[in-house]
């Protein structure tokens, strides 16, 4: 075994939080200062340096433009879906419903599930005692036999509309979920009529499909029905330490339903479900509030590219993540709010939750980040998760938990999985970096990361080589005896110590642990490496196929080892190739992870080749008809991570540098990007036409230093929003430093000023709609 040379053993002071960027040879750009020269302004090539104010012409500002564009991305059905991963899905971050045929019956099922409904018996673990619990489902029972459907899931309105044709007539339906109310309107014609039935489901873990309950497990009590004074029907499900209540009413052609859940109260859910339902006076009133929210949601960012199938997929993922999560709601379980029989009815912390939330950053939707909220609200639980001897300064979380992060973490040295909290905090740090919200850094990232690192520090010990070593820990789910110096944990320790030092500096904190963080960065043992690349840990090569890329975290998403380090490129390439050379265990996120890694290298054609494997129906676990994904049960993270892979092709911002169009596949000659949010709290708009970047516009939301890898050739024009030349400095390797005050915008282009138009691109690769068109 050999060891990889240490990178970033000393952390330089710098103004931008982020992974250190290795030095690069200076290469002057025409019209800019040479690297190392004093800052200077850049005159406009178009007007000889005189001011000529500019502004974008955004064609995507009206409801009509958005409705037209998103209609082209909608899911369609001309066949009745028979499984959850074929049908329409609705949600508001709490309540969720999937629509498909009732198994073996002439009915249509509307599942009724809720992200807060869980058991409250931690003594049985997350699989049985604090797992998500099913609520029930509605069935729409027609008079005649169903012969056809014609459905559209409108992304713009987040609404299912269409018809059901039967041998007796037609049912015309529309459905949506808003403010924890499922609203369905069905109008019958011919000899048809709509008959609704609510079917409560047993309050037992969906994990029962895989295994029997623990020996001393006692089932929850049975549900009961009641009718409220106003005729509203209710199903009450008592739980040990809680209650779930479902309330619904059917009035004319409308059905409204709400679910309440309370804990530790065993009675409050009953009143909550009635109160929520009574606020929804009608389908139309609820729809008006609903569409206002969704229309404002979509307008926060825009992306368009010429592959119709993937473009539609991307917009469906934005719809999906907004249907599944809101910052003030529960963190997503592996299935989101759409619970189905599954071995994984909980929150998984060793990869799933991280992948679930990457998408919200670039898409400019931090209002969906329930992960940051969850960690902030449950800091006491995270302390209680570590052994009692370490609670004075440490925190952690085990592999899976409920929405409150209730799961013990084992000790290093016992072969336990230790890094989950640290990796989850990387997501929260990304939310900080994309918002530059100092309160998030001060109140969540710094104190929790400090405690997560402290837990590691209790177990790091010096070896005879003078390096610090870690006792045996588990590389998530790699099926061998846990090694010492697990690469997964070494990467997380390095990243965390670096961020703690930088965060303390930004917050003005003179932390007593800072010398220790510096010592760890200087003395932590190098990542174990052999002839095939990065190993799982010391003495443990990557020798059998593995779906996770935990042994490559230093490459992605931490970027500690990256393509800006020429000395690392061979090792990066060798490691990724060897990971995928051993086949058999790969899953969907194995392909999306590889796509993002190749995007980091700037190889868009290889990146899209790997991403397309996720959509290849000849693979064992492809993306499904409605863009959901299943292995032994529903797992929501993989499709969402596929959209992040697209983000990584279009714009990256690691290491304090914004990279525009860094890995666009050759076939995608035209791309439009608008208000893409990056680290440093910048909004990036850029247009690529005929394979060339035409312009880049960047708006600063926080006044952070701006470094731009623009990819433009020729003489540059760099103008502030009032038309005055911006102060710039060439940093070499195609990177330009630009002075951009908070609230201001800068335009970068070469040659004469292009048309500054934000608009959808023409589809060059047509494809069928998602659903069952």
pLDDT at residue 178, as a whole number: 98
Are residues 227 and 147 located together in one domain of the fold? yes
Distance of CA 418 to the CA centre of its chain: 22
pLDDT at residue 25, as a whole number: 28
Nearest Cα residue to 183 out of 116, 110, 132, 108: 110
Are residues 283 and 353 located together in one domain of the fold? no
Q: Tell me the CB-side half-sphere exposure of residue 574, using CA atoms within 13 A.
A: 14
pTM: 0.93
Using the CB atoms, write b or e for 403-437: b if 16+ within 10 Å. Answer: bbbbbebbbbeebbbbbbbbbbbbbbbbbbbbbbb
d(CA 718, CA 748): 5
Q: What is the number of domains present in the chain?
A: 2
Please identify, among 547, 579, 610, the residue that sits at the C-terminal boundary of a domain.
Answer: 547
d(CA 413, CA 36): 49
Instruction: Render pLDDT for 566-610 as a digit per residue (tens, 0 to 9).
Output: 999 999 999 999 999 999 999 999 999 999 999 999 999 999 999
Q: Which residues on adjacent β-strands are paired with residue 196?
A: 140
219: which residues sit within 8 A by CB, 6+ positions away? Answer: 202, 203, 204, 213
Nearest Cα residue to 320 out of 330, 305, 332: 332
The answer to whether the CB of 398 falls within 8 A of the CB of 125 is: no
Q: Tell me the mean pLDDT in the region 257-269.
A: 97
Does residue 266 lie within any of the structural domains?
yes
The first and second tokens of residue 403, run together, are 């929405």
Output the CA angle 19-20-22, nearest 5 degrees: 135
Helical (H) or strand (E) element with 96: strand 95-101
Q: Tell me the mean pLDDT in the region 651-655.
A: 98
Are residues 288 and 352 located together in one domain of the fold? no
d(CA 279, CA 257): 11
pLDDT at 4 over 90: no
Range of the domain at 455: 1-6+346-547
pLDDT over 90, % of the chain: 91
How does residue 191 score in pLDDT terms, banded at 50, 70 and 90?
very high
Signed CA dihedral, 684, 690, 692, 695: sign only: negative
How does residue 230 score in pLDDT terms, banded at 50, 70 and 90?
confident
Instruction: Render pLDDT for 433-455 as a digit per residue (tens, 0 to 9).
Output: 999 999 999 999 999 999 999 99
Does residue 613 lie within any of the structural domains?
no
Integer CA distances (angstroms), 735 to 507, 688, 702, 715, in order = 28, 18, 20, 14
The answer to whether the CB of 514 falls within 8 A of the CB of 522 is: no
Are residues 389 and 536 located together in one domain of the fold? yes
pLDDT at residue 747, as a whole number: 98
How does residue 9 score in pLDDT terms, banded at 50, 70 and 90?
very low
Does residue 628 lie within any of the structural domains?
no
Please identify, among 242, 277, 298, the residue that sits at the C-terminal boundary of a domain.
Answer: 298
d(CA 280, CA 266): 25
Distance of CA 585 to the CA centre of its chain: 23
d(CA 582, CA 698): 42
d(CA 162, CA 171): 9
Which H, E and C letters describe 230-270, residue by residue? CCCEEEEEEECCEEEEEEEEEECCEEEEEEEEECCCCCHHH
In the 8-state DSSP scheme, what is residue 175?
E
The answer to whether the CB of 256 falls within 8 A of the CB of 295 is: no
Span between the terminal Cα atoms of the chain, in Å: 54
Output the CA angle 230-234-240, nearest 5 degrees: 140
Instruction: Render pLDDT for 353-370 as a digit per residue (tens, 0 to 9).
Output: 999 999 999 999 999 999
Does residue 19 lie within any of the structural domains?
no
Does residue 334 lie within any of the structural domains?
no
Nearest Cα residue to 492 out of 467, 518, 538, 524: 524
Give the number of other CB atoms < 10 A from CB of residue 28: 12
Q: Tell me the CB-side half-sphere exposure of residue 212, using CA atoms within 13 A.
A: 3
The first and second tokens of residue 263, run together, are 């804990």
244: which residues sit within 8 A by CB, 6+ positions away? Answer: 114, 117, 133, 135, 203, 236, 237, 259, 260, 261, 269
State the angle between helix axes of 420-435 and 487-507 in degrees (0 to 180), rounded to the nearest 10: 40
pLDDT at residue 495, as a whole number: 98
What CATH number should be reported for the domain holding residue 407?
A: 1.50.10.10
pLDDT at residue 28, as a whole number: 31
d(CA 457, CA 672): 46
Instruction: Render pLDDT for 750-766 as a digit per residue (tens, 0 to 9).
Output: 999 999 999 999 999 99
Name residue, tokens 């040295």. Answer: 413
266: which residues sit within 8 A by CB, 6+ positions away? Answer: 238, 239, 241, 242, 243
On the 0-12 / 13-18 / 19+ scale of CB atoms within 10 A, 753 is middle
Name residue, tokens 């379980």. Answer: 333
d(CA 662, CA 680): 18
pLDDT at 529 over 60: yes
How does residue 739 score in pLDDT terms, banded at 50, 70 and 90?
very high
Integer CA distances (angstroms), 657 to 108, 111, 496, in order = 51, 45, 20
Q: Which residues on adjacent β-strands are paired with residue 258?
A: 181, 247
The first and second tokens of residue 468, run together, are 């610090």
Cα pseudo-dihedral 571, 572, 578, 580, rounded to 10: 180
- Give CB contacts under 8 A, 24+ apart, made by 447-451: 447/379, 448/375, 448/379, 448/382, 448/395, 448/421, 449/422, 449/425, 449/496, 449/499, 449/500, 449/503, 450/500, 450/511, 450/513, 451/382, 451/383, 451/393, 451/394, 451/395
Signed CA dihedral, 396, 356, 134, 112: sign only: positive
Are residues 112 and 208 located together in one domain of the fold? yes
d(CA 558, CA 655): 10
What CATH number should be reported for the domain holding residue 105?
A: 2.70.98.50
pLDDT at 643 over 80: yes
d(CA 120, CA 401): 11
Integer CA distances (angstroms), 596 to 22, 644, 654, in order = 20, 8, 13
pLDDT at residue 632, as a whole number: 87
Instruction: Render pLDDT for 23-78 as a digit per residue (tens, 0 to 9).
Output: 332 233 333 333 333 344 444 444 444 578 999 999 999 999 999 999 999 999 99
Does residue 476 lie within any of the structural domains?
yes
Instruction: Render pLDDT for 672-691 as a digit per residue (tens, 0 to 9).
Output: 999 999 999 999 999 999 99
Instruction: Render pLDDT for 384-411 as a digit per residue (tens, 0 to 9).
Output: 999 999 999 999 999 999 999 999 999 9
Question: What are the residue ranges of helices labelled H in 59-172?
Answer: 63-71, 125-128
Are residues 261 and 147 located together in one domain of the fold? yes
pLDDT at residue 50, as a whole number: 58
Are residues 362 and 292 located together in one domain of the fold? no
Are residues 137 and 216 located together in one domain of the fold? yes
Cis peptide before 557 (omega within 30 of 0): yes
The first and second tokens of residue 252, run together, are 């004319």
How does residue 11 score in pLDDT terms, banded at 50, 70 and 90?
very low
Using the CB atoms, write b or e for 115-154: b if 16+ within 10 Å. Answer: bbbbbbbbebbbbbbbbbbbbbbbbbebbbebeebebbbb
pLDDT at residue 7, as a whole number: 42
How does residue 228 score in pLDDT terms, banded at 50, 70 and 90?
confident
Please identify, among 547, 579, 600, the residue that sits at the C-terminal boundary of a domain.
Answer: 547
Q: Which residues on adjacent β-strands are paired with residue 238?
A: 243
């Amino acid at each position: 075994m050999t060891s990889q040379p240490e990178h970033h053993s000393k952390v330089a002071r710098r103004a931008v939080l982020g992974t250190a960027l290795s030095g690069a040879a200076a290469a002057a750009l025409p019209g800019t200062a040479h690297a190392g020269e004093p800052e200077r302004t850049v005159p406009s090539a178009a007007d000889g340096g005189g001011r000529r104010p500019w502004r974008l012409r955004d064609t995507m500002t009206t409801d009509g433009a958005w409705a037209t564009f998103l209609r082209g991305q909608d899911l369609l059905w001309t066949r009745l879906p028979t499984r959850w991963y074929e049908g329409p899905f609705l949600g508001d971050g709490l309540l969720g419903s999937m629509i498909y045929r009732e198994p073996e019956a002439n009915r249509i099922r509307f599942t009724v599930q809720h992200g807060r409904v869980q058991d409250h018996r931690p003594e049985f673990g997350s699989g049985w005692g604090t797992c998500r619990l099913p609520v029930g489902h509605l069935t729409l029972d027609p008079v005649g036999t169903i012969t056809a459907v014609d459905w559209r899931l409108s992304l713009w309105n987040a609404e299912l509309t269409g018809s059901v044709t039967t041998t007796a007539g037609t049912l015309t339906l529309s459905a949506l979920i808003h403010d924890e109310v499922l609203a369905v309107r069905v109008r019958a014609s011919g000899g048809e009529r709509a008959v609704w039935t609510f079917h409560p489901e047993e309050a037992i873990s969906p994990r029962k499909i895989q295994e029997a309950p623990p020996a001393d497990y006692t089932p929850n009590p049975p549900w009961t029905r009641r009718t409220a004074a106003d005729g509203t029907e209710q199903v009450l499900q008592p739980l040990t330490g809680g209650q779930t209540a479902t309330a619904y009413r059917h009035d004319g052609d409308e059905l409204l339903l709400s679910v309440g859940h309370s804990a530790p109260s065993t009675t409050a859910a009953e009143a909550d479900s009635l109160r929520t339902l009574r606020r929804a006076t009608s389908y139309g009133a609820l729809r008006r509030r609903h569409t206002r929210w969704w229309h404002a949601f979509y307008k926060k960012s825009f992306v368009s590219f010429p592959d119709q199938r993937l473009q539609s997929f991307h917009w469906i993922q934005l719809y999906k993540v907004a249907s599944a999560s809101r910052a003030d709601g529960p963190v997503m379980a592996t299935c989101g709010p759409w619970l189905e029989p599954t071995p994984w009815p909980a929150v998984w912390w060793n990869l799933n939750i991280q992948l679930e939330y990457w998408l919200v950053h670039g898409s400019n939707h931090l209002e969906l980040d329930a992960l940051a909220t969850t960690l902030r609200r449950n800091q006491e639980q995270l302390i209680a998760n570590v052994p009692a001897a370490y609670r004075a300064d440490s925190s952690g979380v085990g592999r899976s938990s409920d929405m409150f992060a209730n799961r013990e973490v084992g000790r290093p040295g016992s072969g336990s999985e230790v890094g989950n909290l640290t990796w989850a905090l990387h997501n929260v740090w990304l939310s900080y970096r994309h918002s530059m919200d100092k309160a998030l850094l001060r109140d969540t990232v710094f104190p929790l990361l400090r405690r997560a690192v402290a837990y590691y520090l209790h177990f790091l010990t010096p070896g005879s080589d003078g390096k610090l070593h870690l006792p045996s820990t588990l590389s998530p789910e790699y099926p061998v005896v846990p090694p010492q110096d697990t690469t997964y944990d070494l990467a997380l320790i390095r990243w965390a110590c670096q961020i703690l030092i930088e965060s303390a500096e930004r917050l003005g904190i003179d932390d007593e642990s800072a010398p220790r963080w510096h010592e760890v960065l200087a003395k932590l043992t190098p990542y174990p490496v052999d002839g095939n690349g990065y190993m799982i840990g010391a003495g443990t090569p990557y020798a059998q196929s593995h779906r996770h890329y935990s042994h490559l975290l230093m490459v992605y998403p931490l970027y500690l080892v990256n393509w800006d380090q020429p000395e690392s490129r061979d090792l990066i390439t060798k490691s990724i190739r060897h990971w995928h050379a051993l086949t058999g265990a790969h899953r969907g996120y194995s392909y999306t992870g590889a796509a993002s890694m190749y995007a980091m290298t700037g190889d868009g054609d290889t990146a899209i080749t790997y991403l397309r494997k996720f959509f290849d129906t000849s693979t064992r676990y492809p993306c499904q008809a409605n863009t959901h994904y299943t292995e032994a049960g529903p797992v929501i993270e993989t499709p969402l991570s596929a959209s992040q892979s697209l983000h990584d092709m279009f714009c990256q911002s690691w290491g304090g540098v914004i990279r525009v169009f860094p890995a666009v596949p050759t076939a995608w000659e035209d791309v439009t990007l608008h208000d893409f949010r990056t680290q440093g709290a910048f909004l990036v708009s850029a247009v690529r036409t005929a394979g060339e970047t035409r312009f880049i516009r960047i708006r600063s939301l926080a006044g952070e230093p701006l470094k731009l890898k623009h990819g433009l050739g020729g003489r540059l024009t760099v103008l502030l929003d009032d038309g005055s030349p911006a102060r710039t400095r060439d940093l070499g390797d195609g990177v330009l430093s630009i002075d951009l005050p908070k609230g201001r915008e800068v335009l970068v282009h070469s040659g004469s000023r292009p048309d500054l138009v934000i608009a959808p691109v023409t589809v060059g690769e047509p494809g069928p709609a998602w659903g069952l068109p």
